[in-house]
Structure 1
Amino acid sequence: MKTLYMVRHAKSSWEHDVIDHKRPLKKRGNNDAILVSNYVSKEVKKPKKIISSDAVRALTTAQYFKKAFNITDENFEVNHTLYDFSGHKVMDIIKNLDDSLNRVMIVGHNHAFTSVANMLGNKYIDNVPTCGFVEIQFDDSQWNTISTGTTVQTIFPRDLK
């Protein structure tokens, strides 16, 4: 069995004069990332690896989950390919995960994450909100053979407030 945890980056700020890739989290984003990561770390099994987009807002969000789950540096990866908005590159990363990893968390962006959650899960999600968490399980032993899995749960910041 394979389990995929997907986290959309927390709320980012548009107040800074920086390129999209460098946008930081705003105060609400930091607060939501703390809230959701601490809650999720008590509700689900620890991922074997966290892979994050290298965009500042996603990487900062991933660091909160890394801390909450006590993930080591060797099990934390930054991958520019997750800076994807269509979902095609996200699917490539998922399909090429190491089969020794049964639980993986990826941290990235919309519209890709909502699209992938709906392609792979069996429950329609209108929109994965900022700092939204989605868990999908697959009855497969290899990542490259996964198709439709079971959307086990969603945890969104609004659910915890």
Structure 2
Amino acid sequence: MKQLILMRHGKSSWDYDVSDLDRPLKERGINDAHMVAKTFGLHAPQIDFIYSSPANRALHTSMIFVRSLEYDLSNYSVAKALYDFAGNSVEQFVRNLDNDWGTVAIFGHNYAFTSLANTWGDQYIENVPTAGLVHITFGVDDWSKITGGTTKQMVFPKHLKK
């Protein structure tokens, strides 16, 4: 069985004159990422590897997640292929993951993550929000063969706020 955790970066700030890659998180993005990571951590599976897009907002979100789960950074890497908004590059990246890894988390961007969550999961999601997490399981042992999986969990900030 393979498990994929898709997490969209937290809410980013447009207050700075920086490139898209360098855009930081807003305070809300930081707080939402902490909330989602903490909630997911209550029932998180053992994660074999974590990858992040090189965009600052995705990197920061992934670091919040890594620290919250006390994850070993020796199983963490940045992947340029995850800086993708359409989803084709992310899909190819996932299909080429090491089959020794059963559970992988990736941090990236929309529209790619909403599209892939709907392609691979069994629950329709209108939009994966910023700092939104979707956990999908697949009944195969080869990443290249993943197709329709089961959406095991969705953790969205708006569901956690009171």
- Displacement of 1:38 in angstroms is 1.2
What is the CA–CA distance in structure 2 between the aligned matches of 1:81 and 1:146, rounded to whole Å? 18
Give the TM-score taking structure 1 as reference length: 0.98
Which residue matches 2:77? 77
What is the CA–CA distance in structure 1 between the aligned matches of 2:46 and 2:39, rounded to whole Å? 12
- Summarize deviations over 1:24-58 as a string: whole Å, max 9, x none: 00000011111111111112213111100010000
1:40 aligns with 2:40: yes
- Once the two structures are superposed, the pairs formed by residues 7-156 of structure 1 within 5 Å of their partners are 7-156=7-156
Q: Which moved more, 1:100-109 or 1:67-76?
A: 67-76
Q: Which moved more, 1:66-75 or 1:101-110?
A: 66-75
What is the CA–CA distance in structure 2 between the aligned matches of 1:126 and 1:15, rounded to whole Å? 27
Gaps of 5+ in 1: none
3-state SS in 2 of match to 1:43: coil
Which residue matches 2:160? 160
3-state SS in 1 of match to 2:42: helix
3-state SS in 1 of match to 2:3: strand
What is the CA–CA distance in structure 2 between the aligned matches of 1:46 and 1:59, rounded to whole Å? 20
Aligned letter for 1:80? K
- Summarize deviations over 1:70-106 as a string: whole Å, max 9, x none: 2212111111110000000000111001001001000
What is the CA–CA distance in structure 1 between the aligned matches of 2:69 and 2:48, rounded to whole Å? 10
Aligned letter for 1:17? D
What is the CA–CA distance in structure 2 between the aligned matches of 1:64 and 1:46, rounded to whole Å? 17
- Displacement of 1:3 in angstroms is 0.4
Q: Which moved more, 1:68-77 or 1:126-135?
A: 68-77
Gaps of 5+ in 2: none
Provide runs of 4+ in structure 1 moved above 3 Å: none
What is the CA–CA distance in structure 1 between the aligned matches of 2:135 and 2:128, rounded to whole Å? 12
Residue-pair matches, total? 161
RMSD: 0.7
